[in-house]
Amino acid sequence: MNQEKTALFTIFGGTGDLAKRKLYPSLYRLYKKGFLKEHFAVIGTARREWTNDYYREIVMETIKDLADSTEEATKFASHFYYQAHNVTDTEHYSELKELSTKLDEKYQLENNRIYYLAMSPNFFGTITEHLKAEELITNDGFNRLIIEKPFGHDYESAAILNDQIRASFHENQIYRIDHYLGKEMIQNISAVRFANAIFESMWNNRYIDNIQITLSESIGVEERGGYYETSGALRDMVQNHILQVVSLLAMEPPIELKDEEIREEKIKALRSVRIFKPEEVRHYFVRGQYGASTVHDEKSLGYREEQNVDPASQTETFVAGKVMIDNFRWAGVPFYIRTGKKLREKGTQINIQFKGMPLNLFSEDHTTPQEPNVLTIYIQPTEGFSLQLNSKKIGQGLETELLNLKHKNSAETSANSPEAYEKLILDCLNGDSTNFTHWDEVAQSWKFVDVIRQAWNKETPEFPNYPSGSMGPVCSDQLLEKDGFKWFWNPTGE
């Protein structure tokens, strides 16, 4: 079967970090697998004055660990062209148009265009406006726009940005990247739910006690302090990745596993997420910021000591919260979410805690609760599942002990599974927007997050409030304790 795709990629920000670390290697993987062959070309653009040759050298450098031979890498890189371009300069777009037409003819690209905006969102509106005005959008062939996060910094700014982009591209031409949606195990949530009757039949408030989602990072902000100061964990992780995971866990079964059907269900789930009143925020959401600590004689910097960070910064590097979904399926079930930097262990996992037995026949008074059944979905770095069960302890008596059924993808399977960006670029080439976020999802997520942000802005937090290398501030544990729960994932760091 010929799986070759045909398109011209124009990468704005072609000299940047994202392009070098993610985009070029992903395009190369698609090339190696035969999705890209003869009929593709890439224009990299940015202000730097690079030549085609220099650009190709850079591209080859980014794929050196993936390529089987220099010959293969050179052949791949020969499809790359560089055009120095300041996105605010109208004249540059005519040059870009000329080069695009030339490459279209040379590689027979059928006027298929993918514009990848791998640069600051401040420029998205300017670029899309010029693409339309300077007639870079073709009449035949497809025109698709891939854009990176962050999509605005609140609902209002996101709506303005959206209006700007929509003046040039239709919603079905816009692919808003949330790289979490490209992850293997996130896509597996649908399989767990809709391919296993034992889970789907129990996937509701009658059988589930609570759901916990943790996105934990062990590193700090590193050199991204400047950006992080304007963002914080709530905007950086909750508004997009975490709420996307919530919507996938909470949505109703779609009629089909197709983009419009799934999206419709995700949007409905997000619309059911309770938007708090400002005075309620403190009961549902807590925040934190890491302080310095010394682990194994090594000093770890506090957030306020990091590069480009205000020494009195009030930016949160940790968020924990309780999300409530007010619909028939989920009424009363808390979705606890947690994300932070400089935590004890790096990892993303979802823990679904089922309700206990009405009586514990294995305890003398029948009232001491048994350990709950917990289904865990490991997203990264480990990929897999586990199911915590109670089993009889071998020997005399009727004591129970915990048993963990575990499936972890082997290191080899994980290493060979396509990288998120590779999957998402291929989805875009196929015109499949299932794993991208629709404007309605973005809008709804901002409405939820904005109330929290505004309430927090009115108070001065006592930061720093957790040491680097811990699992966050005490208030995060208290959030669950007051409901009679605890964080299921509590790594000891060993």
One residue of 6, 10, 15, 445 binding ligand NAP per CB under 6 A: 15
93 with 124: CB under 8 angstroms? Answer: no
Q: DSSP string of 410-447?
A: -HHHHHHSPPHHHHHHHHHHTT--TTSB-HHHHHHHHH
Does residue number 259 form part of the binding site for ligand NAP (CB under 6 A)?
A: no
**Bridge partners for 375 per DSSP:** 352, 387
Assess 48 for contact with ligand NAP (CB under 6 A). yes
Using the minimum distance from each CB to ligand NAP, give the nearer residue, 14 or 472.
14
* 184-to-50, 327, 425, 491 alpha-carbon distances in Å: 36, 28, 14, 23
> Would you say 88 or 430 has its CB closer to ligand NAP?
88
Residue 47 binds ligand NAP (CB under 6 A): yes
Q: Work out how close the CB of 342 gets to ligand NAP at its nearest, in angstroms, rounded to a whole number.
A: 18
Kindly state whether residue 201 participates in binding ligand NAP, applying the rule CB under 6 A. Answer: no
Instruction: Answer yes or no: 241 catalytic.
Output: yes
Is residue 226 part of the contact set for ligand NAP (CB under 6 A)?
no
The residues, any chain, with a CB within 8 Å of residue 119's CB and separated by 6 or more, are 12, 13, 16, 46, 87, 148
What is the residue type of 133? Answer: A
- Contact positions with ligand NAP (CB under 6 A) in 434-453: none
Confirm or deny that 15 is annotated as ligand binding. yes
Q: Is 211 helix (H, G, I), strand (E, B) or coil?
A: strand
Query: Would the annotation count 14 as a binding residue?
Result: yes
| Contact region with ligand NAP (CB under 6 A), list: 28-36, 56-64, 74-82, 83-91 | 83-91
> Taking the complex as a whole, how short is the minimal distance between the CB of residue 261 and ligand NAP, in angstroms?
28
How crowded is residue 422: how many other Cβ atoms within 10 Å of its Cβ? 21
Cα–Cα distances (Å) from 409 to 189, 350, 383, in that order, read: 15, 16, 6
Q: Which of 5, 8, 10, 13 binds ligand NAP (CB under 6 A)?
A: 13
Question: Using the rule CB under 6 A, is 18 a contact of ligand NAP?
Answer: yes
**Which among 79, 85, 153, 241 is annotated as catalytic?**
241
87 lies in the site for ligand NAP, by CB under 6 A: yes
Residue 443's CB: how many other CB atoms inside 10 A?
17
Any known ligand binding at 217? Answer: yes
CB 154 → ligand NAP: shortest distance, Å? 16
And the tokens for 348? 């993303």
Nearer to ligand NAP, 83 or 434 (CB): 83
Quote the CA–CA distance of 339 and 288 in Å, as a whole number: 10
| By the rule CB under 6 A, 62 interacts with ligand NAP | no
Question: What's the rounded Cα separation, in Å, for the pair 76 and 69?
Answer: 11
Whether residue 148 contacts residue 240, with contact meaning beta carbons closer than 8 Å, is answered with no
How far is C-alpha 360 from the chain's CA centre? Answer: 40
Q: Which is nearer to ligand NAP, 63 or 119 (CB)?
A: 119
- Candidates 46-54, 254-262, 269-277, 278-286 — which segment interacts with ligand NAP by CB under 6 A? 46-54
Alpha helices in 259-314 (DSSP H): 259-272, 281-284
What's the rounded Cα separation, in Å, for the pair 61 and 52?
Answer: 14
Site string for ligand NAP, 124-153 (x = CB under 6 A): ------------------------xx----
The CB-of-79 to ligand NAP minimum distance in angstroms stands at 19
Question: Other CB atoms closer than 10 Å to residue 140's CB: what's the count?
Answer: 8
13 versus 152: smaller Cβ distance to ligand NAP: 13
Tell me: is residue 17 an annotated ligand-binding position: yes
Q: Is 19 annotated as a binding residue?
A: yes
Verify binding: residue 11, ligand NAP, rule CB under 6 A: no
Is 346 marked as binding a ligand?
A: yes
Which segment (64-72, 84-92, 108-116, 381-389) binds ligand NAP by CB under 6 A? Answer: 84-92
Distance separating alpha carbons of residues 89 and 130, to the nearest angstrom: 9
229 Cβ partners below 8 Å, 6+ apart?
308, 309, 310, 313, 315
Residue closest to ligand NAP (Cβ): 16
Least Å distance, CB 124 to ligand NAP, is 9
Name which of 45, 36, 46 is nearest 7 in CA terms: 36
Q: In the complex with ligand NAP, which residue's Cβ is closer, 150 or 356?
A: 150
Please, what is the minimum distance in Å from the beta carbon of residue 220 to ligand NAP? 16
Q: Is residue 296 marked as binding?
A: no
Q: Which of 74, 88, 94, 478 binds ligand NAP (CB under 6 A)?
A: 88
Cβ closest to ligand NAP, residue 183 vs residue 344: 183
Which listed range, 85-93, 187-195, 255-263, 380-388, lies at the site for ligand NAP (CB under 6 A)? 85-93
The secondary structure of residue 273, as a DSSP letter, is: B
**What is the SS3 assignment for 388?**
strand
Stretch that binds ligand NAP, among 17-25, 189-197, 251-259, 428-436 (CB under 6 A): 17-25
d(CA 353, CA 488): 9
Could you give phi then psi for residue 70, rounded to 5 degrees?
-65, -35
Summarize the annotated binding site for substrate as residue ranges: 179, 183, 217, 236, 341, 346
Interacting residues toward ligand NAP by CB under 6 A: 13-18, 21, 46-48, 85-88, 118-121, 148-149
Positions marked active-site: 241
